[in-house]
Structure 1
Amino acid sequence: MPASVQAATAPEWTACPRCRALVYTRRLERNLLVCPECQYHARLTAPERVRQLLDPGSVEPLSFAVDSEDHLRFVDTRPYTDRLYSARLSTGLDEGVLCLRGRIDGHPVVAAVMDFRFLGGSLGAAVGEMITLAAETALADRTPLLLVTASGGARMQEGALSLMQMAKTSQALGRLDEEGILTVSLVTDPTYGGVAASFATLCDVIIAEPRARLGFAGPRVIRQTIRQSLPSGFQEAESLLANGLVDDVVPRAALRPALARLLAFAAPVVPHRRASGAVPVIHDPDRLTDEEPWATVQRARDTARPTTLDYIGYLIDGFQELRGDRSGGDCPAIVGGIGRFDGQPVVVIGHQKGHQPADLIARNFGMATPAGYRKAVRLMRLAAKVGVPVLTLIDTPGAYPGVEAEAGGQAVAIAEALRLMAALPVPIVAAVTGEGGSGGALALAVANQVLMLSGAVYSVISPEGCAAILWDDPAAAPRAASALGLRASDLLRAGIVDGVVPEPEGGAQADPLAAAAALRAAFAAALEDLQPLRPDQLIARRRSRFRRLGAPTQEIVIVEGANR
């Protein structure tokens, strides 16, 4: 048993360190050392972690010839060499990290698993070298890298040499970014200091165990240096999730499937062609049956219409939601993540409203904050790194107009999204599924192909906003709706959208499954058209598409290959 789990008076019983409940030891072991009463996740050794996460029989140790050196001849209450000897004797490890090749649910991975028992998981020269070698092995193998962190910070006994490992390991992660290799960090309790401020938080995806602590300065350092009182839950995983610093908090029993979903995202793609048959996308506006514009607006706003998460449930296999902008915020009005669409790995992002009042309020009625657009940008960069398409689903009255959003840089966040999408080297297909309101919608719609459901609307401003500004009368909203050209037929005729996906009779809300099936066929056809194109061709065509909008009638050409 790990040191953090204390044996009770009888050896077959264990006392939980947090709630003090007595738990039958064998039950605790079957529960992966998670207390069944309070869900306390006891610390695991590196070998225990490997046995829980990796497929049996798949583990191949990476025996790097690395050893710690006492170049400072450091002595505190004991010589550093004595501490190293004791750590090796008590743990059976050569250093504070195990590096290996293996598989998780059949998916190959290179893993580096830290062990807090070894001098508090401290980051010394040997640990930094081993993490770096693991990253270089992942690069050579073209295999995802998994980092399981547990550390109190830099190893003080090695002085500034320990500090340099932060730069060294960060550089190694940067190489993997450049070469398109997926990186995943599993944060366990605790992860502090130099590890938190380098490789633990530089990965593409960061997941954490419940109540795992992550931070640069630990609570004791904060209290002793600046005498600041700390709030409840400070630096714990759940707080980090709310603040946009990790993607998910995953209980130990669910870690293997969660990691398997992430690794499946990076697995080789089996070529897939859609079944033959007509694709239900209308390109001729005269084929669309128009209803009165204000009625179309009301239909598009119907809370019974499928939401982005509804469509994701219908369209995306193995979806793993990723959260946070990594800058201190997460926005529930934009959801995104990774999964497979018809066997093809994709990143999917969209506005999320909800059906019930409580859901609508929690999701801010689909009106995103700057953190939402920054989260979308982060996920698009992940798609570009790994080389997979982006699908976006647009349904918002507009970006959130509040004071805090403006103070947080709403305009900058939207502008950054627009610029990034224009130059993203992977296929992008967007679909307006409900409301497409203003720049808040366009921030997810700079795509190679822009589709629109027949009952959706897309406009520079809401009819109410237009009526209030131009007619000084919100009651003139129906008149504004007629003037704005916001229906699918209007937008197709103007070239704003490339195709319209017909909805079932009564609208998407009348038959969500049929609406999702039509959208699936439209997405599949668009991807099949786009995927043979090189990155420079995708970028050139996307730029040319938007360059033409509003320009004089003469043809404008952006030369393909200019961005190679």
Structure 2
Amino acid sequence: MTAPASAAAGVREGWTRCRGCGVTLYAPRLDRALGVCPDCGHHHRLGAAERLGRLLDKGSFVQAPDRLRAVDALGFADTRPYPDRLAAARARTGLDDAVLRGRATLGGHPVVVAAMEFAFLGGSMGVVVGEEIARAADEALATRTPLLLAVASGGARMQEGCLSLMQMARTAQALARCGRAGVPTVSLLTDPTFGGVTGSFATLTDIVVAEAGALVGFAGPRVIESATRRPLPAGFQTAEYLYAHGMVDRVEARQGLRPLLTRLLALLAAAPAPPVPPAPPETGGPGLDTAERGAWETVRFARDTARPTTLEYAGLMCEDFVELHGDRHHGDDPAIVGGLASLGGRTVMLIGHQKGHDTAELVARNFGMPEPEGYRKATRLMRLAERLGLPVVTLVDTQGAAPGVGAEERGQAWAVAEAISTMGELTVPVVSVVTGEGGSGGALALATADRVLMTRNACYSVISPESCSVILFGDPGHAAGMAEALRVTAPHLLRLGVIDGIVPEPAGGSQRDPAAAADLVRAAVLAALADLAPLSGPDLVAGRHDRFRRIGRVADV
């Protein structure tokens, strides 16, 4: 690997000026801070070699032996002939083109890696860049090694004309082959990432991470301003802006990138199936809740804001959990959370509704009532789990899908229907646990599973008792009676065949002892996954279809 370039330009006698705040910094101090200004947090650009040096295990990078150089197929010249520009870029960067490709380890995990060099003709993508990315994907596919792409590019290479444009298809197809084969791919979007690179391989990976402050987009900001003749929104096309609009999984400061990627690679590594654990008891026992509660009291218990949330269950029952964000279309709905989790030594995709414990958190999470973006995020993560061969575990706790004009305009019904349909067709094991409220289609969108469980004091219904009372009696005063009539409790639903088992709760309910509650849910989920482990993908789909086809009785006429 070539010697790394300086993290910041303008170095003179050990000093440099920050491009973000203009403060003069001691260059070695800036270097120790990984090129991040200690005063304003500005992330100075890194070259490909230095980027890999900051991310990878020391001394592990081995550059690919097959080296490629661009050909001037068009005989292109502007103020200088294209071959002269290439020669100058090679001399300046020490690279053959705008990509440095090879193999390495990161946190001890093997990766195929390709890093782009912005200093080489703006990191523009020509035929060589397209082929380098395709070869990296081919190697990852052939060796079933995770692919890591560190991206920095101004877009297409104009000097190669339409040949450059075709690289969008070449690289997109290469990433698609990895996706079909279940080979994990991760991209790191750095400053800047634009044009055909963003519109192809950079955003087609399984997980998309953006470095804090990076500018990322398709058309450049000057092009957009010129075309629209309108000022751009504050923070437009920054990593943080993309995160808020659901386009990337994570935004991380440079210091956090290596730890985050290490965790992701550990979770993406193949893990053996866990041993078959004992099934949890379905009746009372020492330290377990044995109180007899009516349906309405159970509903009130299920709604208690002190009950554990999905994120708390993730922290208590999983060895690790990396939350992933965004629906890749519009936003990141905080009412549904999901990500890669290590559960009993096995990686799963954990997805669940997220409420809160106080007014501020409940409002921020919309009381656990998802918008269409939440269901689209869940669907995206389910499909990712299927590509990677990971079981899906969902935790259900919602009054229902969010009502509202905006939700309807953005296709709430379509998003819920797609989530239900996608779950039904997954070729990986799916286990759902209703941990609080299971409200209508908004709950079923995360509960079309092979095994559906309920904690003892949860409830599950087609409609809330209050709404049922209003519709049938004109006021909510009959809610208690409707709760009983709707058969919303776990014992009733077990007898009706809607659920497959009841997870006990600690004495006084899960809200009294969240850690003990998480242990009980964990044991139940692991038992269900062990039960499903021998089944093939087609068998899982067929069994899931049969399960829901059997629910409910009909009478012949």
Q: TM-score range by the shorter chain?
A: over 0.9
2:368 aligns with 366
1:239 aligns with 241
2:198 aligns with 196
Whether contact under 8 Å (1:288, 1:489) holds in the other structure is no
1:431 aligns with 433
Give 1:553 shift: 8.2
1:462 aligns with 464
Q: CA separation in 2, counterparts of 1:297 and 1:95? A: 63
1:319 aligns with 321
Give the 5 Å matches for 1:295-306: 295-306=297-308
Give 1:262 shift: 1.4
Whether contact under 8 Å (2:7, 2:31) holds in the other structure is no
1:94 aligns with 96
The 3 A distance-change label for structure 1 pair 288 and 483 is: farther
1:354 aligns with 356
Number of aligned positions between the proteins? 549
1:115 aligns with 117
Kindly indicate whether residue 396 of structure 2 is the aligned counterpart of residue 409 of structure 1: no
Give 1:274 shift: 4.4
Comparing 288-297 with 523-532, greater Cα deviation is found at: 288-297
1:33 aligns with 35
Give 1:260 shift: 1.2
1:557 aligns with none
Give the 5 Å matches for 1:19-30: 19-30=21-32
Map Cα deviations across residues 283-305 of structure 1 (whole Å, 9 max, x no partner).
9xxx9864121111111111100
Partner SS for 2:166: helix
2:331 aligns with 329
Map Cα deviations across residues 62-91 of structure 1 (whole Å, 9 max, x no partner).
133422011111111111111000000000
2:147 aligns with 145
Map Cα deviations across residues 498-553 of structure 1 (whole Å, 9 max, x no partner).
00011111100011111111111101100110011111111111110001112448
Q: CA separation in 2, counterparts of 1:280 and 1:48? A: 55
Kindly indicate whether residue 246 of structure 2 is the aligned counterpart of residue 265 of structure 1: no
Give the 5 Å matches for 1:71-82: 71-82=73-84
Kindly indicate whether residue 126 of structure 2 is the aligned counterpart of residue 124 of structure 1: yes
With normalisation by structure 2, the TM-score equals 0.96
Identity of aligned residues (%): 56
Give the 5 Å matches for 1:145-544: 145-275=147-277, 277=278, 279-281=280-282, 290-544=292-546
Comparing 346-355 with 67-76, greater Cα deviation is found at: 67-76
Whether contact under 8 Å (1:280, 1:522) holds in the other structure is no
Partner SS for 1:7: coil
Give 1:222 shift: 1.4
Partner SS for 2:150: strand
Whether contact under 8 Å (2:416, 2:441) holds in the other structure is yes
Q: CA separation in 1, counterparts of 2:23 and 2:300? A: 56
Q: CA separation in 2, counterparts of 1:206 and 1:278? A: 37
Give 1:263 shift: 1.1
1:7 is matched with which residue: 2, 7, 10? 10
The 3 A distance-change label for structure 1 pair 462 and 305 is: same
Aligned partner letter, 2:496: A
Q: CA separation in 2, counterparts of 1:431 and 1:177? A: 29
Whether contact under 8 Å (2:5, 2:50) holds in the other structure is no
Aligned partner letter, 2:10: A
Give 1:20 shift: 1.1
**Unaligned regions of 5+ residues in structure 1, if any?**
555-564
Instruction: Please provide the CA RMSD for this pair.
Output: 1.6
Q: CA separation in 2, counterparts of 1:397 and 1:221? A: 45
Runs of 4+ in 1 over 4 A off after TM superposition: 1-4
Give 1:278 shift: 5.3
With normalisation by structure 1, the TM-score equals 0.95
Kindly indicate whether residue 19 of structure 2 is the aligned counterpart of residue 17 of structure 1: yes
